A and B are shown apart, each in its own frame.
Chain A
Amino acid sequence: MINISEVLETNRMILEENLDVRTITMGVSLLDCADSSVRNTCDRIYAKLTRLAKDLVKTGDDIGREFGVPVVNKRVSITPAAIVGSSCCKKPSDFVKIAKTLDRAAKKLGINFIGGYSAVVSKGMTPADELLIRSIPEAMAATERVCSSVNVGSTKTGIDMDAVRLMGEIVKETAARTKDRDSIGCAKLVVLCNAPDDNPFMAGAFHGVSEADAVVNVGVSGPGVVNHVLRHTCRGADFETLCETIKKTAFKITRVGQLVAQEASKRLGVPFGIIDLSLAPTPAIGDSVADILREIGLDEPGAPGTTAALALLNDQVKKGGVMASSYVGGLSGAFIPVSEDQGMIDAVNAGALTIEKLEAMTCVCSVGLDMIAIPGATSAATISGIIADEAAIGMVNQKTTAVRVIPVAGKKVGDTVEFGGLLGHAPVMRVSKFSCGNMIARKGRIPAPIHSFKN
């Protein structure tokens, strides 16, 4: 029988330590919506989304109320739009019509983001892939809730450097098209390597072609809970105690996600896909991965030892989480966005955290350079260089990596950018002034690494 201390512990996590289910994301295949006419494709997409996901928001809210745990976001991810629109879209503006349809469906459903305005071009781009990529700046400017991602590499295929070069330009153009809103278009655009097909977190969520017609994926969170437990039970403790404590806490957090996922799947009549057991921070005070790193024993994230501390944290979260759910997927690990984590922002402002150190940290956690504001004058080639570096880390280490940088039009190092809401605010960070232009100008792709040949 449940006892009072367990009940109080759970409710303290929810009420005081920001425990929540970060997102219920319904993945929907749009492969059956493809048509030779843009208009018919858009109509079919709108009809399918508003039919399959019509109860998503209500279901999430009902579950949240009944179990007393907030279900913060309800979202939808779709088949990469470059595939869906490949038969009908003959110019970038055709793809923008699909983006606008997705935005309209998102508003009708009451969800805050829809992901999958995407192209998977790890080895090469089809004409449709390239058209979609070229439409991204306009699509991000013309829509509010659509998220875009482009997968430019994988361990099995290597890195498509033509796509990397193009994405540097597209990121710059997206920033310019939304310059009146602190270049917020780039906050909805991520460039990935080894992108998972079942990621429920934005901006990189899409519903891969390996997936069923519809699935429910759930992303849990809870950096505040881990931080609280470490602060109260692990100060001065040895590594074994530290790891054991993080594991147990991750288990408890993930079990809540598992419960919510099963309930959502049952009520929506859609199969359960995976739990993404990520520590996803928010700008709320205390809901910070950086604060956990401080609690492990760093003055500031970015100090020597940061990569080791993050590696430890990431691994224990996974070890605790996999015991709590049979189907773990997505990104699963600690997120280290800058603008969405007040502790990271403080570390940047203190001069402790640089892009180069963040890059090292991405070798041992589940994502990449995320929500980082950089000077608006940064060249497209330099952005491509940053993307190539992250993709190389992902390719060689057989893990997902991503780049979501915002070259904020008109801003320079030391300025601050305000995105609002979950996206937070960010100090503009310094980028190396040395050029990689001649390397980025080379055509073709970087071959797959030797350890990918496992057949």
Chain B
Amino acid sequence: MKKIIVTVVGKDAVGILAKTCTYLAKERINILDISQTVTGGYFNMMMIVDAAKYGKTFDRLCAELASLGNGMGMRIHCQKSEIFEKMHRV
């Protein structure tokens, strides 16, 4: 399993989750967990996804998600999960 953390940040709007999930489904990326908060009109979402069946490169995934985000006025980042696990778990 290749665990990747996808974060989506920007001004809240209709359909952000739907569009992101549609893209992930199309690319055969499985969503393991989703959390989101909206504070002061700003949308913060974090997804833990499994990209084991994703056929392209990590860089390609980052670029396509970033471009999807730009289309919605949002910032979408992908990071491998180890950075968070290392930093926050002893």
Contact = CB atoms under 8 A, between A and B. Distances in A.
B65 interface: no
A9 B80 CA distance: 16
A247 to B, nearest CB: 13
A7 B86 contact: no
Interface in B28-43: 33, 35-37
A259 B58 CA distance: 18
B82 A67 contact: yes
B46 A4 contact: yes
A3 B88 CA distance: 10
B75 to A, nearest CB: 10
B74 interface: no
B83 interface: yes
B38 to A, nearest CB: 12
Given A252-B87, A255-B86, A259-B86, A1 B33 contact: yes
B11 interface: no
A253 B85 CA distance: 13
Interface string A411-425: 000000000000000
Contacts of A4: 35-37, 44-46
A380 interface: no
A68 B82 CA distance: 11
A17 to B, nearest CB: 13
Interface residues on B, range: 20 to 34
Contact of B5 (A2, A255, A256, A258): A2
A256 B88 CA distance: 10
Contacts of B79: 66-68
A107 interface: no
Contacts of B86: 255-256, 258-259
Interface string B56-90: 00110010000000000000011111111111101
Contacts of A443: none
Interface string A50-71: 0000000000000001111100
A9 B27 CA distance: 28
Contacts of B45: 4
A6 B59 contact: no
Interface string A281-320: 0000000000000000000000000000000000000000
Given A1-B33, A65-B62, A259 B83 contact: yes
Contacts, number: 61
Contacts of A6: 84, 87-88
**Which of A8, A66, A69, A256 has the most chain B CB within a 10 Å cutoff?**
A66
B83 A8 contact: no
A7 B84 contact: yes
B37 A2 contact: no
A7 B5 contact: yes
Interface in A9-33: 9-11
Nearest to A257: B86
Contacts of B20: none
A4 B80 CA distance: 15
A323 B87 CA distance: 12
A67 B86 CA distance: 11
Contact of B83 (A1, A10, A323): A10
Contacts of A65: 58-59, 62
Given A66-B58, A68-B77, A259 B44 contact: no
Contacts of A256: 83, 86-87
**Which of A4, A7, A10, A11 has the most chain B CB within a 10 Å cutoff?**
A7
A7 B88 CA distance: 9
Contacts of A3: 35, 46
Nearest to A8: B44
B80 A1 contact: no
Nearest to B45: A4
Contacts of B88: 2, 6, 9-10, 252
Contacts of B80: 66-67
Interface in A173-193: none
A2 B84 contact: yes
Interface string B9-33: 0000000000000000000000001
Given A2-B48, A10-B88, 18 more contacts: A2-B88, A4-B35, A4-B37, A4-B46, A6-B87, A6-B88, A7-B5, A9-B88, A10-B83, A10-B87, A11-B77, A65-B62, A66-B58, A67-B82, A68-B78, A252-B87, A255-B87, A258-B86
13 contacts: A2-B46, A2-B81, A2-B85, A4-B36, A4-B44, A6-B88, A8-B7, A11-B7, A65-B59, A252-B87, A256-B87, A259-B82, A259-B86
The 4 lowest CB-CB distance pairs between A and B, nearest first, are A68-B79, A4-B35, A67-B83, A4-B46
